[in-house]
Structure 1
Amino acid sequence: MLHGVDTVQVMATGTLIFLIIGGVGVGVLTLALLGSGVLHLGQPDVDGPVSLEAAAGFTGAFGFGGAIVNELLGGRTPGMIAAAVVGGVLAAVPTGWLAARLSRAARNMRTDATPTRDHLAGAIGLVVTPIPSGGYGEVRVRLAGQPVKLNARADGPMPVGTRIFVVEALSETSVHVETY
């Protein structure tokens, strides 16, 4: 306390501006990630040479990097603010490059084909609900490494626990089975 007045550290205006820029970058990045993946906004190939994620990562790192440098320098003069801009750019360039690489890798990631009913024929599994004569029961098979429960018919009755072989897929959710 000096002469009855509290001394309060006041954030430099430049730092506040840099923090706002960083916050805008994070907000745009959030919308880019949620918008394309969850909300289905835009097309992944409309970004042009620079993806929205890369631009948002660059902007966020520029703002927060500039704010850090500005506060460390006590940026109250134009020269110090210019140094903070340089510091922000030094933080933003690798961040933007990394964001571009990661977003491109995520978009171009190879995935397995979605299994269809044609993949059910030949699967081996177990009866989990008895299969009556002329009716449906349930079987569990592994399809693409995942357990799948299906309605099943058989030429004769099959009790729970019987190992089965899928002969034919009658629909997307039902199969014809034989004892394995």
Structure 2
Amino acid sequence: MPSVDTVQYVATGTLFFLIVGGAGVAVLALALLGTELLHFGGADVDGPVSIETVAAFAGAFGFGAAIVNELLGGRTPAMVAAATAGGALAAVPVSWLASRLSRAARDMHTDPTPTRHDLVGAMGLVVTAVPADGYGEVRIRLAGQPVKLNARADRAIPAGAQIFVVQALSETSVHVETY
């Protein structure tokens, strides 16, 4: 029985396009994860086009061109040129979308970080009884999140009592009164 050797190979153009696509995706991932890749000096050094946009263009271009090149059989320069055009056609909307998404994430409004002054006036419950001469524990809600703090009071407060914060002694301890 004769043996048949089948060797599958990737066209040089396809391999090149895959490398470009992989490099684009790697740079895009680093840029979106906040490593501020290639940001030397000020924040606007990369100019009118962000790193995310260029990386998304390169990634979509490389993978799109590789797909088109394989579909066409990319063995001639004309087919590789057609694959390049197909890659560019795929890359334009992807880079536009990456630009919009990265701008939206960068310009997203966030609430300021709560400080010890935000503790004053908060209401909560005593978790561990607060003795008159020591610390107990209370749980309050700060910016919608439950926070457990050390608490002092002028008089003893039993566990389970409702309290409100009258003074922030530090970032982790408060002075409370019953509600």
TM-score (norm 2): 0.92
Secondary structure of the residue that 1:87 maps to in structure 2? Answer: helix
Q: Distance in 1 between matches of 2:168 and 2:46?
A: 42
Structure 1: unaligned runs, 5 residues or longer: none
Superposed counterparts of 1:5-20, under 5 Å: 5-20=4-19
Deviation at 1:4, TM superposition (A): 4.4
Contact 2:32 2:102 in 1 (8 A): no
Identical columns (%): 73
Deviation at 1:32, TM superposition (A): 1.7
**Amino acid paired to 1:165:** F
Deviation at 1:30, TM superposition (A): 2.1
Report the counterpart of residue 156 of structure 1 in structure 2: 155
Q: Distance in 1 between matches of 2:46 and 2:159?
A: 55
Deviation at 1:174, TM superposition (A): 1.1
Deviation at 1:157, TM superposition (A): 0.5
Structure 2: unaligned runs, 5 residues or longer: none
Contact 1:166 1:177 in 2 (8 A): yes
Mean Cα displacement is larger for which, 16-25 or 6-15? Answer: 6-15
CA deviations 1:116-172 (Å, max 9, x no partner) are: 111111111011111111211110000110001111111101111011011111111
Secondary structure of the residue that 1:138 maps to in structure 2? Answer: strand
Report the counterpart of residue 76 of structure 1 in structure 2: 75
Deviation at 1:34, TM superposition (A): 3.1
Secondary structure of the residue that 2:120 maps to in structure 1? Answer: coil
Secondary structure of the residue that 2:141 maps to in structure 1? Answer: strand
Q: Distance in 2 between matches of 1:35 and 1:135?
A: 44
Report the counterpart of residue 98 of structure 2 in structure 1: 99
**Amino acid paired to 1:176:** H
Report the counterpart of residue 54 of structure 2 in structure 1: 55
Q: Distance in 2 between matches of 1:27 and 1:126?
A: 49
TM-score (norm 1): 0.91
Report the counterpart of residue 32 of structure 1 in structure 2: 31
Deviation at 1:35, TM superposition (A): 4.6
Report the counterpart of residue 147 of structure 1 in structure 2: 146
Q: Distance in 2 between matches of 1:10 and 1:155?
A: 81
**Amino acid paired to 1:79:** A
Report the counterpart of residue 127 of structure 1 in structure 2: 126
Deviation at 1:33, TM superposition (A): 2.5
**Amino acid paired to 1:85:** T
Q: Distance in 2 between matches of 1:144 and 1:117?
A: 12
Deviation at 1:11, TM superposition (A): 1.6
Runs of 4+ aligned residues of structure 1 deviating over 6 Å after TM superposition are: none
CA RMSD between the two structures:
1.9
Equivalent residue pairs, number: 177
**Amino acid paired to 2:99:** A
